Amino acid sequence: MTSKVLVTGATGFVGGHLLAAIAAGRFGPRCAAVVLPTGLDLRDGEALAGFIADQRLDAVIHLAAQSFVPRAIAEPRETYEINVIGTLNLIQALEAAGFSGRMLLVSSGDIYGRVAECDLPVTAATVPHPGNPYASSKLAAEELCLQWSRRTAAQVLVARPFNHIGPGQSDRFVVSSLAHQVMAIKEGRQPAVIDVGDIDATRDFSDVRDVVSAYAAILAHGQDQTRYIVASGVERSVAQILRRMLELAQVQADIRVDAARLRPSEQRRMVADPSATTHDTGWRPLIDLDQTLADILQSVRSQ
């Protein structure tokens, strides 16, 4: 019998990779993805309930969100309407349809906010201190889904992914933005100067395809009402990643700090510990950073 999995946010960066993984059988050999019809907005609770009522879903992966932090700061009401009210509409529609399967809510490592360097790496025991409307809305969505699970037959699992990168990511995000500049220089479309912000800050970067594999493992093997960190466990600076992309592309360029790209209040260092996720689900990241960066450069070139 085919297992039907609703994927919200299927048209986004992660959603595309997730649908490809489902089609390849990495969520189970008889797993089929269900996506929302074009134009159906999670904020339209009535339309959403009407669609879900006819689906007989076995599982849900809830990716859909307003996830761009600068927009969340500029438009906090919209962010909460999508990330919290949209999630409320989803779980109410599922409850009305008698859903009793497993739901994976994709939250964010951003919910931890500013973390003192002495408290790194972040673990599931680290207390969240959201520092922007996106982060606080994701934490609110977590609590909303978990309380729903406590009073119904549905099981809810939460993934807290840290920075993920890979082919197809929007150039609004730092690694993709840098890759676009590297390839523009290589192809003669830009002078050999790369504009950067604070590239000495460190982050915990994972390949998006490893992140999708983590979602499959959590959905299959995670414990109900548990929050799981999805991260590489490796701390890298943006400068390290940029230097390696330049080497892989065989490009030489000057690095120029652009004041407009600086975020002085941003966390200087970040790394997370995914060992509890590995313990419960068996997942661990497998894709080498060089492979990720080579695939990003190739993706930019093909665009």
Give, in order, the Cα–Cα distances in Å from 23 to each of 20, 27, 33, 46, 254.
Answer: 5, 8, 8, 29, 42
pLDDT at 242: 97
Q: What does the buried/exposed string (b/e) look like for 64-88 if buried means 16 or more CB atoms within 10 Å of the residue's CB? A: bbbbebeebeeebeebbbbbbbbbb
CA distances 90 to 21, 51, 103, Å, are 23, 11, 11
pLDDT at 262 over 80: no
Q: Tell which residue, 255, 252, 241, 256, has the closest CA to residue 294.
A: 241
Dihedral through CA 48, CA 52, CA 57, CA 60, nearest 10?
Answer: 0
CA distance 130 to 114: 8
Q: Which two tokens stand for residue 216?
A: 């499959």
pLDDT digits (tens, 9 = 90+) for 82-103: 999 999 999 999 999 999 999 9
pLDDT tens digits, 3-57 = 999 999 999 999 999 999 999 999 999 999 999 999 999 999 999 999 999 999 9
Helix (H, G, I), strand (E, B) or coil at 100: coil
Is the preceding omega at residue 121 within 30 degrees of 0, hence cis? yes
Tell me the CB-side half-sphere exposure of residue 253, using CA atoms within 13 A: 29
And the tokens for 265?
């209040």
The answer to whether the CB of 126 falls within 8 A of the CB of 273 is no
Per-residue confidence at 136, pLDDT binned at 50, 70, 90?
A: very high
Report how far residue 256's alpha carbon sits from residue 190's, in angstroms, rounded to the nearest whole number: 14
pLDDT confidence tier of residue 263, bands split at 50, 70 and 90: low
Q: Cβ(9)–Cβ(33) under 8 Å?
A: no
